A and B are shown apart, each in its own frame.
Chain A
Amino acid sequence: MSDTLVEIKNLTFNREERCIYNGISLNIPKGKVTAIMGPSGIGKTTLLRLIGGQLKPASGDILFAGQNIPELSRSALYEIRKRISMLFQSGALFTDMSVFDNVAFPIREHTKLPENIIEKMVMMKLEVVGLRGARHLKPSELSGGMARRAALARAIALDPELILYDEPFAGQDPISMGVIVRLIKDLNDALGLTSVVVSHDVHEVMSIADYIYIVAEQKIIGQGTPDEIRAQQSPLVRQFIKGEHDGPVPFHFPAKDFKDDLLGGKL
């Protein structure tokens, strides 16, 4: 049996005229936390959407347990998605439902379990994320960190094989961040999940990831275990890890010469 759950081969993806990925390949091993890091705006979330089949690549394969996601029919894709969960950056909780109903949503949709069993399942998931007491609250009554945890409970409601985390630490205070870091690692180990964490929070990702890919300039510029990444000498990787404001990844958005812009009249 293969140790790889998701295999991406020669993936190219363009958004309108702009090339986001140019022939990248990477593997997501089973049962591990794999991190995909890189500066903002290089298409990390896009990669998750490609794995989830919400976007189609221009070329290349995305194999999930051996099935090529871009080639699947709509119904086959929906079957595959029952084995995948995604934690959105915003949480994406349904605003017209309570926390309880949000977590119960995928269970009610995909099973015919009686309500008393669903109730117990939801309570167990909420207990894991520490929100059993907040089950009656609406998403608008939750803090950012609580909303992220409620969304995490919903994401694990049906015990998926793969969880895709889209910037799980963005906008969190240090305590919430610590809680989410611990939850991702614990859930991965306890439930035997495979996790893909997309983030640019270097410290947090380094603390939980088993393997890291650093993406920039439409390709993978570095990969390895956290220790291997720290030891890499590539200027691009070093700039990202150390958080230097300028370097191979430029501070300035591409533009014509500053002097020409100032003196050349029309902007």
Chain B
Amino acid sequence: MIKRFGQLGHTTLELLAGLGRALIILLSAITHMPNIRKGYPLFVKQVYSVGVLSLIIIIVSGLFIGMVLALQGHGVLIDYGAEASLGPMVALSLLRELGPVVTALLFAGRAGSALTAEIGLMKATEQLSSMEMMAVDPLRRVIAPRFWAGLFCMPLLAAIFSMVGIFGSHLVGVVWLGVDQGTFWSVMQGDVDFADIVNGTIKAVSFAFVVTWIAVFKGYDCVPTSEGISRATTSSVVQASLVVLGLDFILTAIMFT
């Protein structure tokens, strides 16, 4: 019994210590916003790496999810003669929920895992140590540009996802299933508020923050062995996905109830 309490205490302490380390990394990343002379080229390089290279998966996923939404939605709405509401249904689903959430999950899998593995491997090959010994802070040089790039790119990717999704639903709903084009767009325009776009953006920024934070922390804090990097990469994706889903529920409860 005492041993179990001891283990519980040990686990709790480890958890708190981990949280402390994560907060230190976050603070350091936030306070080292890329500057024009040195930070900007690093930031741009990371924007390419985590943002531009994620475009394909985001566009393809957005297109198919939009098309599936239109197919499923049309099947239900037509029974009630409400196929005119297909546009707003798809747009609201994407802007409020699917855009930010699915983008965050894909981003965690595509860019988050790459960030964790890259930073972990830099640690295992002593690149971070050598940087420290050259009096260059790896938190400023390695972590901060990646964090800011993730924070910048993911909301843009979520916006692209929603746009492409709406385009996909238009292809299926209007071009294929014959919903009136004018009705599709005008009802959508009437039913989607500016607040929906703002709320979706707030969600996307929040998810970008946690996904990128978890990714860089897991890489920086990993055990510098092949097994350690593999564990860190897996847990980066799993934890980021779970936190995104949990946070989505909380934000939805706050925004839409």
Spell out A's residues near B (CB within 8 Å).
49, 52, 54, 78-79, 81-82, 84-86, 88-90, 92-95, 105-106, 108-110, 151, 154
Instruction: Give the residues in chain B near A52, CB-CB below 8 Å.
Output: 132-133
A70 to B: closest C-beta gap in Å? 15
Q: A84 touching B126 by the CB < 8 A rule?
A: no
Bound together, the chains give a CA A69 to CA B8 distance in angstroms of: 36
Is there a chain A Cβ closer than 8 Å to B130's Cβ?
A: yes
Is there a chain A Cβ closer than 8 Å to B36's Cβ?
A: no
Closest to B37 in A: A112
Q: A90 touching B125 by the CB < 8 A rule?
A: yes
Instruction: Give the residues in chain B near A85, CB-CB below 8 Å.
Output: 133-134
Q: A81 touching B125 by the CB < 8 A rule?
A: no
**What sequence of 0s and 1s flags, for each residue 105-132 of chain B, a beta carbon within 8 Å of any chain A beta carbon?**
0000000000000000000011101101
Q: A81 touching B134 by the CB < 8 A rule?
A: yes
Bound together, the chains give a CA A89 to CA B125 distance in angstroms of: 10
What DSSP secondary structure best describes chain A's contact surface?
Answer: mixed
Contact of B129 among A92, A105, A109 (CB under 8 A): A92
Instruction: Give the residues in chain A near B129, CB-CB below 8 Å.
Output: 49, 54, 88, 92
Bound together, the chains give a CA A108 to CA B125 distance in angstroms of: 22
Could you show 5 A-B contacts with beta carbons less than 8 Å apart? A81-B132, A81-B134, A84-B133, A86-B130, A105-B134
A143 to B: closest C-beta gap in Å? 17
Instruction: Give the residues in chain A near B130, CB-CB below 8 Å.
Output: 86, 88, 92, 151
Q: A92 touching B132 by the CB < 8 A rule?
A: no
Instruction: Give the residues in chain B near A82, CB-CB below 8 Å.
Output: 135
Closest to B135 in A: A81
Q: A90 touching B132 by the CB < 8 A rule?
A: no
Contact of B126 among A78, A92, A110 (CB under 8 A): A92
Is there a chain A Cβ closer than 8 Å to B137's Cβ?
A: yes
Restricting to B79-97, which residues have a CB under 8 Å from any CB of A? none
Instruction: Give the residues in chain B near A79, CB-CB below 8 Å.
Output: 135
Bound together, the chains give a CA A78 to CA B38 distance in angstroms of: 18
Q: B135 touching A92 by the CB < 8 A rule?
A: no
Is there a chain A Cβ closer than 8 Å to B136's Cβ?
A: yes
Closest to B132 in A: A54
Bound together, the chains give a CA A85 to CA B133 distance in angstroms of: 7
Q: Which 7 A-B pairs have the closest CB atoms?
A: A92-B130, A81-B135, A92-B126, A86-B133, A78-B135, A82-B135, A106-B134
Bound together, the chains give a CA A90 to CA B130 distance in angstroms of: 10
Instruction: Give the residues in chain B near A106, CB-CB below 8 Å.
Output: 134-136
B143 to A: closest C-beta gap in Å? 15
Instruction: Give the residues in chain B near A78, CB-CB below 8 Å.
Output: 135, 137
Instruction: Give the residues in chain B near A109, CB-CB below 8 Å.
Output: 38, 134-136, 141
Instruction: Give the residues in chain A near B126, CB-CB below 8 Å.
Output: 88-90, 92
Given contact pairs A54-B132, A81-B132, A92 touches B127 in the complex (Cβ within 8 A): yes
A47 to B: closest C-beta gap in Å? 14
Closest to A84 in B: B133
Closest to B140 in A: A109
**What sequence of 0s and 1s flags, for each residue 26-43 of chain B, a beta carbon within 8 Å of any chain A beta carbon?**
000000000000100000
